[in-house]
């Protein structure tokens, strides 16, 4: 006797359901932040708690609101998406792209700085050096994104 045998699907082998989006609301003018997208973009795993991530996002939002306060006072748009774009990529305004990059970079720097002092082992010292370099890169990327948003150059000047 020959034939096919069909077994019921293994429930454990099914992929987990997608997590519902976790969004931190901004002030209405600046875009809200989806924490799932941020985790993917900055490559954060779940060892960073949602509360710690939200705290870093809120601090980045406040820092950018201060940085762009003069620019915002010059626009009459209801929100950032309504500001006429200088360039649009994939249907997204360059202002939104630069704002998002600045915010993600500030969050990455903040979280990296918090991790710097957590390990005292020899491997931890090596990791601390790597983290320090990553934090510097995040800070640089945040500054460049802010300058790009404002239409400024990226020159870095150092007094000797």
Domain ranges for the chain: 22-76+87-150
Q: Are 57 and 103 in contact (CB under 8 A)?
A: yes
pLDDT at 38: 95
pLDDT at 30: 98
pLDDT at 134: 87
pLDDT at 7: 60
Q: Are 56 and 110 in contact (CB under 8 A)?
A: yes
Q: Are 32 and 100 in contact (CB under 8 A)?
A: no
Distance, CA of 85 to CA of 81 (rounded, Å):
8
Distance, CA of 136 to CA of 112 (rounded, Å):
10
> What is the full per-residue pLDDT of the chain (160 aa) written as tens digits?
556 666 666 555 566 566 566 999 999 999 999 999 999 999 987 888 999 999 999 999 999 999 999 999 999 999 999 999 999 999 999 999 999 999 999 999 999 888 776 655 666 666 666 777 788 999 999 999 999 999 998 877 778 7
């Amino acid at each position: 006797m020959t034939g096919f045998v069909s077994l019921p699907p293994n429930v454990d082998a099914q992929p987990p359901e997608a997590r519902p989006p976790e969004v931190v609301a901004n002030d209405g003018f600046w875009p809200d932040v989806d924490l799932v997208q941020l985790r993917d973009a900055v490559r954060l795993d779940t060892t960073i708690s949602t509360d710690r991530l939200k705290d870093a996002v809120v601090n980045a939002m406040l820092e950018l609101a201060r940085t762009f306060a003069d620019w915002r006072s010059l626009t009459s748009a209801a929100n950032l998406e309504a500001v006429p774009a200088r360039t649009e990529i994939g249907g997204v305004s360059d202002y939104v792209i630069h704002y998002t990059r600045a915010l993600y970079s500030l969050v990455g720097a903040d979280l990296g700085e918090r991790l710097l002092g957590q390990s005292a082992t020899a491997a931890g010292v090596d990791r601390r050096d790597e983290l320090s370099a990553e934090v510097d890169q995040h800070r640089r990327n945040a500054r460049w994104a802010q300058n790009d948003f404002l239409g400024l150059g990226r020159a870095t000047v150092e007094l000797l």
